[in-house]
Amino acid sequence: MDIERFMRKHHVTDEMLDEMAAPFERGDFELSDGTMYSGSHLGAGAPKTPNAETIEAIDEVRRRKQDPSIGKTYDSVENMMKDLL
């Protein structure tokens, strides 16, 4: 569900969301139990499995590391960016 749909479903306005977020953005909120949690919750679930395109890219990097003659190499990031852009 996207954020706009969620907000409509729960009758939350942008102003309400700003008001709820303000203490956290200012850092002047009080913790109910004194415990502060930070970081992303996304890593808490099942291990991430790369898709086929990502696996292919990883395999290509491994091949290139073993055989530098495959593909183009660069002597600096600046030169690489010039070529890419």
pLDDT in tens, 3-23: 888 888 889 898 998 888 888
List b or e across 62-74, with b for residues whose CB sees 16 or more CB atoms inside 10 angstroms. Answer: eeeeeeeeeeeee
pLDDT 10s digits, 40-71: 666 666 667 888 999 999 999 899 889 888 88
Q: Are 70 and 63 a contacting pair, CB within 8 Å?
A: yes
The residues near 6 (Cβ < 8 Å, ≥ 6 apart) are 12
**φ and ψ of 38, to 5 deg:** -140, 170
pTM, two decimals, is 0.36
